[in-house]
């Protein structure tokens, strides 16, 4: 059984054994939880002495078939030992705000213990509606600092064009038709003149509101202002070798044609 972050999450609690409260952990080695899969795959008969199917499903919620060989619990025979799921230490200290990277890299680890409904409790269509949930109370008045510091990625739940930009426009924070005004950009005058450094440092902060066409109004070899977006030492041959399609947006008007 693969050891995952979730594997250390579960704690076997005290159970009633023949009318006497006995800690079930005393029947197992200290590292049993992370290694029990090997024994269980060999034979579940020993497990069935104390555990019913629901003990396995407390943890293996994403793979219920692993418990098929264990008997079902009944009111008359609930089993001698019960297992309860508890968050592991790795899931403490603001884990909810940073779990996205881990979940995107290895969702199978999450699926060992979580089902789709767990995710949808936050990642739902109306998650950004303002109802109590992911953000703490009065977060709206404090969200600029969190958004600027990239504590969370707004675009994970919000449509930044429809949700953020509309609100910012109503509040007078979007300088529509006035490209040299700061607006959302830290309220700085002439932000456009030095925006290249900000884009190089954190391009993802730009794409939250801007589409490629916004950049191409100035940075294109096909027209407009033809400002060169490539810095000193740029190696076009290397980029073309790695991904030639990136060149097409600015340098090709017709597929197969050239500048």
Q: Encode the chain (259 residues) as per-residue pLDDT tens digits.
A: 433 333 333 333 333 322 323 444 457 777 777 778 888 888 888 888 888 888 888 778 777 888 888 888 888 888 888 777 777 778 888 888 888 888 878 888 887 778 777 887 777 666 556 555 667 777 777 777 777 666 667 777 777 767 777 777 776 666 555 544 445 665 566 777 778 887 877 777 677 667 777 887 888 777 667 777 777 788 888 888 888 887 877 777 644 444 4
The tally of domains found in the chain comes to 2
9 & 85 share domain: yes
Alpha-carbon torsion (144, 149, 152, 154), positive or negative: positive
Paired strand residues for 17:
20
The confidence score (pLDDT) of residue 234 equals: 83
Residue 228 counted as domain residue: no
**Contact by Cβ (8 Å): 236, 229:** no
71 & 143 share domain: no
85 & 145 share domain: no
Which residues span the domain enclosing 11? Answer: 5-89
CA atoms lying within 13 Å on the CB side of residue 186: 12
Domain final residue pick, 71, 89, 107: 89
The confidence score (pLDDT) of residue 17 equals: 29
The confidence score (pLDDT) of residue 233 equals: 82
The confidence score (pLDDT) of residue 6 equals: 38
Residue 100 counted as domain residue: no
Q: How many CB atoms are closer than 10 A to CB 56?
A: 23
Residue 127 counted as domain residue: no
Residue 237 counted as domain residue: no
CB-based burial of residue 75 (10 Å sphere; 0-12 exposed, 13-18 middle, 19+ buried)? exposed
Residue 226 counted as domain residue: no
75 & 148 share domain: no
The confidence score (pLDDT) of residue 3 equals: 38
Domain final residue pick, 210, 231, 248: 210
Residue 187 counted as domain residue: yes
The confidence score (pLDDT) of residue 193 equals: 78
Residue 199 counted as domain residue: yes
Q: Say how far apart CA 33 and CA 221 lie, in whole Å.
A: 61
Residue 191 counted as domain residue: yes
Q: Say how far apart CA 32 and CA 23 lie, in whole Å.
A: 14
> Taking the mean position of all CA atoms in its chain, how far away is CA 17?
42
9 & 84 share domain: yes
82 & 14 share domain: yes
Domain final residue pick, 89, 105, 126: 89
Paired strand residues for 84:
11
Its pTM stands at 0.35
């Amino acid at each position: 059984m693969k050891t995952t972050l979730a594997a250390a999450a579960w704690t076997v609690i005290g159970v009633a054994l023949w009318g006497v409260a006995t800690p079930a952990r005393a029947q197992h080695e200290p590292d049993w939880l992370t290694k029990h899969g090997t024994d269980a795959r060999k034979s579940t008969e020993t497990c069935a002495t104390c555990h019913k199917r629901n003990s396995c499903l407390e943890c293996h919620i994403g793979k219920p078939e692993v418990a098929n060989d264990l008997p079902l619990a009944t009111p008359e025979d609930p089993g001698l030992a019960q297992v309860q799921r508890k968050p592991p230490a790795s899931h403490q200290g603001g884990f909810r705000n940073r779990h996205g990277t881990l979940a995107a890299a290895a969702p199978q680890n999450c699926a060992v213990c979580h089902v789709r409904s767990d995710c949808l409790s936050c990642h739902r269509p109306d998650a950004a509606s303002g109802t109590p949930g992911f953000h703490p109370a009065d977060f709206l008045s404090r969200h600029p600092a969190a958004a600027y510091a990239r504590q969370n990625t707004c675009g994970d739940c919000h449509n930044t064009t429809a949700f953020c930009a509309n609100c910012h426009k109503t509040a007078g924070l979007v300088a529509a038709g006035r490209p040299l005004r700061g607006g959302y950009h830290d309220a700085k005058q002439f932000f456009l003149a030095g925006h290249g450094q900000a884009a190089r440092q954190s391009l993802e902060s730009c794409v939250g509101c801007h589409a490629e066409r916004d950049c191409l109004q100035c940075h294109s070899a096909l027209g407009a202002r033809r400002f060169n977006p490539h810095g000193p030492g740029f190696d076009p041959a290397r980029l073309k070798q790695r991904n030639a399609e990136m060149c097409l947006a600015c340098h090709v008007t017709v597929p197969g044609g050239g500048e």
